[in-house]
Structure 1
Amino acid sequence: MTEAIRDLGADFWTIRGDLRIGGVLNVGTQAALVRLSSGGFAILDSYPLRGAVRQAVMELTGQGREVRAVLNLHPFHTLHCAAIARDFPGAALFGSHRHRLRHPDLDWRSEPVESPEVAQMFAPDLEFLLPRGIDYVSRNSKVHAGSLLAWHPASRTLHVDDTINLMPVPGLLRRLFPEPRVFLHPTLPQALLPRVGAVRDFRDWLHGLAAKTRDLRWLCAAHSGLREFAPGQFSDELLAAFRRVEDKLARAEARSD
């Protein structure tokens, strides 16, 4: 993955970034820039802006002065919170309780990013969606299936970290499968809440998401990229992804009962 900023239209820009595991394997990461109808901009997720991407963001935002808020949506994506706070010192900084624990020196807003209060602040432009039936902040630091999704209706864009992914297609298979495949995070079974009905709650939430995003155009997925969809296509593929893991989730729920 190469660092880039892409205009998806209707005042939404996706930022595709680099994230190297062990300094070698580049699994990629993301952020986004959204123009607010009330004036100014919000940034979704933290990323250290560099080079041409930084120049583009600064030109759009009056050298950063017009960035009103940074919203850190995934509780386990904490590496770059300090960098983004330095770049935009005038922006309100939102995160989960895990962001605050990892960076207690930063000036966090008291409202958790997943709270109804934050949802109301940005309701004219964004809808935040918290999955039901799974942990948002797992006690197991390797379980990253939980995240707060951001739906931008104006551009028909869904920005999601980890919960929903895109599976890159190997070169030899691209003639048969030209587009990356939608799939759910592999740690989803471990993220289930330990109670009867957790799978049903997640399934119902996912069906609601599919209905809400029926006309989705863009899926921005952390680590795995960006894909454009025709109306109805994403919803169908999302539900198919759930059907592929439903039995596995049911078995995980039964073991926790």
Structure 2
Amino acid sequence: MSDKIYDLGAGFWSIRGSFVRNGMIDIGNQSALIKLQSGKFILLDSYTLTGEVREQVMALTNNGQDIEAVLNVHPFHTVHCARVAKDFPHATFYGSARHHKEVPEVDWSDDYVESEAVAQRYPELEFSVPKGIYYIAPDDSVHSGSLLVFHPASQSLYVDDTFEIPPSKLFNEIQAGINLHATTLKALKDEPDAGKNYCDWATDLAHKWREIRNFCGAHSGLVVFEEGRFESALLATIDSARPELENS
């Protein structure tokens, strides 16, 4: 899979890349470049930029000097962090507690990426951490938890793993549905009403971020929803999954 960059407008560029699992299957990877009101830029997630995509990013960002920060929004996506930190040594790197532990060679900010301090620093974005499931699960194979990022100006949702688009729907934007990550049940916290809390969180999110048109998923690709379709698709998924999640 060759890397590509898509201009979604209003200062948001979706970067699509590769991640080969088990040396066989390319399940895809992503990053995003966002222009701030200040004229500076941030990257969502660490992904090593190469070739034409790197050239385009460098051209947009004054050879990378205008990238002020990298926000690593999935605790288990750590493969590219050290390399990207070397590529942009002047940028502030934000991550979760797991990023700090797994990639100690990076000079991480003391503020975790999911903190209110980071949210206040970037008012161009809206953030949400799922309720009812682990953000950093004790089981390293459970990757449902992540920090979701919404860029209202471009109507773009950036999400790693928590929500996915079924593979058969990737090229059918009118019919696109939404899946929950396969490990969502395993990710439920061992506490009363964890399943209900997760479903209520997702339902509220569907309403709050109903304007979403561009769905940027780590392993789902880039899918464009028709107006109002994201809200109805996510609500349908949660309504279907709620009985099993609430009774687990």
TM (norm. structure 1) is 0.93
Residues 5-24 of structure 1 mapped to structure 2, 5 A cutoff: 5-24=5-24
Match of 2:39 in 1: 39
Runs of 4+ more than 6 Å apart = none
Q: How far 1:179 sits from its partner (Å)?
A: 4.2
In the alignment, is residue 102 of structure 1 matched against residue 102 of structure 2?
yes
2:227 to 228, 231, 235: 231
Aligned partner of residue 93 in structure 1, secondary structure? strand
Alpha-carbon distance in structure 2 between the residues aligned to 1:17 and 1:167: 18
Which 10-residue stretch deviates more, 152-161 or 202-211? 202-211
Alpha-carbon distance in structure 1 between the residues aligned to 2:183 and 2:23: 24
The residue type paired with residue 74 of structure 1 is: H
Residues 58-69 of structure 1 mapped to structure 2, 5 A cutoff: 58-69=58-69
Q: How far 1:186 sits from its partner (Å)?
A: 1.1
The answer (yes or no) to whether the contact 1:78–1:102 under 8 Å persists in 2 is yes
Alpha-carbon distance in structure 2 between the residues aligned to 1:18 and 1:179: 25
The residue type paired with residue 133 of structure 1 is: G
Query: 1:179 and 1:162, CA in 2 relative to 1: closer, same or farther beyond 3 A?
Result: same
Q: How far 1:211 sits from its partner (Å)?
A: 1.0
Match of 1:113 in 2: 113
Alpha-carbon displacement from aligned partner over 1:63-115 (angstroms, at most 9, x marks no partner):
00000000000000000001111111110000001001011111100001001
1:206 to 199, 202, 205: 202
The answer (yes or no) to whether the contact 1:75–1:137 under 8 Å persists in 2 is yes
Match of 1:255 in 2: none
In the alignment, is residue 188 of structure 1 matched against residue 184 of structure 2?
yes
Residues 74-223 of structure 1 mapped to structure 2, 5 A cutoff: 74-123=74-123, 125-169=124-168, 179-223=175-219
The answer (yes or no) to whether the contact 1:144–1:187 under 8 Å persists in 2 is yes
The residue type paired with residue 31 of structure 1 is: S
Aligned partner of residue 107 in structure 1, secondary structure? coil
The residue type paired with residue 185 of structure 2 is: P
Aligned partner of residue 39 in structure 1, secondary structure? coil
Alpha-carbon distance in structure 2 between the residues aligned to 1:237 and 1:7: 24
CA root-mean-square deviation:
1.6
The answer (yes or no) to whether the contact 1:215–1:230 under 8 Å persists in 2 is no
Alpha-carbon distance in structure 2 between the residues aligned to 1:180 and 1:137: 28
Q: How far 1:156 sits from its partner (Å)?
A: 0.6
In the alignment, is residue 71 of structure 1 matched against residue 71 of structure 2?
yes
Q: How far 1:178 sits from its partner (Å)?
A: 6.5
The residue type paired with residue 240 of structure 2 is: R
The answer (yes or no) to whether the contact 2:17–2:29 under 8 Å persists in 1 is yes
The residue type paired with residue 229 of structure 1 is: F
Give the fraction of aligned pairs with identical amino acids, expressed as a percent: 45
Q: How far 1:219 sits from its partner (Å)?
A: 0.5
Alpha-carbon distance in structure 2 between the residues aligned to 1:181 and 1:168: 10
Which 10-residue stretch deviates more, 68-77 or 230-239? 230-239
Q: How far 1:7 sits from its partner (Å)?
A: 0.2
Q: How far 1:212 sits from its partner (Å)?
A: 1.6
Which 10-residue stretch deviates more, 11-20 or 187-196? 187-196
The answer (yes or no) to whether the contact 1:169–1:178 under 8 Å persists in 2 is no
Q: How far 1:240 sits from its partner (Å)?
A: 1.1
Number of equivalenced pairs: 248
Query: 1:170 and 1:93, CA in 2 relative to 1: closer, same or farther beyond 3 A?
Result: closer
Q: How far 1:180 sits from its partner (Å)?
A: 4.1
Aligned partner of residue 16 in structure 1, secondary structure? strand
Q: How far 1:215 sits from its partner (Å)?
A: 1.5
Aligned partner of residue 70 in structure 1, secondary structure? strand
Alpha-carbon distance in structure 1 between the residues aligned to 2:95 and 2:43: 12
The answer (yes or no) to whether the contact 1:3–1:17 under 8 Å persists in 2 is yes
